[in-house]
Amino acid sequence: MHNKLSTNKTFAVIYRVASCLFAICGVLVVTGVLENAIDPVRFLAYTVQSNIWAALMFGVLAVRTIATPKGESYGFYPRIEMIVTHAIFITMLVFWFILAPLMASSIVGLFTSFENMAVHLITPLLMLIDYLVFTKRGELKPTDPLLCLIIPYVYIAQAMALGLTHSVFYDSPGNHSYYPYSFMDVDLLGAWVIPILAGLTVFFLGIAFLWRWVDGKLK
């Protein structure tokens, strides 16, 4: 199944163009653009930024697929796609296993909200499926999992810079502070933020190294 789909140009083009448009739609909805009520602060959320990375990745893959002759493999840039897929996969895991439980009172609404399902579940799964279907197994280098920290750590640097200077105030369900997520709130948690972020780093790396190990075993 993997080999047939990975060389089916029609399927690859349709899948990637549709996924790109869906990812863009999810971002536009969650940021209020489609309702003409744009909220610039929402663009500072890791969820939104990881979905933007996914949309860009789908766009690049779609263009490359269209430009590639029929019958060839349409798995391009496996190392870069791993980084982007890991970033948005973390979005899904952190939301459903850390943030969603904190919003237990509105858990039903999470499953019935298009914007929530789009950016926290559907687009991450579309990105993961693309990686699994199209990229070749065993192409990742031993140090590639470390590269998966680039997007999360660039985001952490951005969030901390804005939070420590009190430049942006986040007013969302379950969070009213100068930090986008409660576990990053230095004003509330103080130095405890450091071991929390260290723990998340270990978690992120664990997933990345497990990813590469499984990818190699499936070669």
Q: Which pLDDT tens digit goes with each residue over 118-151? A: 999 999 999 999 999 999 888 899 999 999 999 9
Cα 106 to chain centroid, rounded: 23
Asked if residues 51 and 116 have their Cβ atoms less than 8 Å apart, the reply is no
The residue range of the domain holding 9 is 2-217
Summary mean pLDDT of the chain: 89
HSE of 94, CA atoms in CB hemisphere, 13 A = 24
* Strand pairing report for 175-177 and 170-172: antiparallel
Cα 206 to chain centroid, rounded: 16
In the chain, how many domains are there?
1
Q: What is the pLDDT of residue 104?
A: 58
Write the pLDDT tens digit of every residue in 16-40: 999 999 999 999 999 988 777 788 8
Question: pTM, whole model, 2 decimals?
Answer: 0.89
Is 109 a residue whose pLDDT tops 70? no
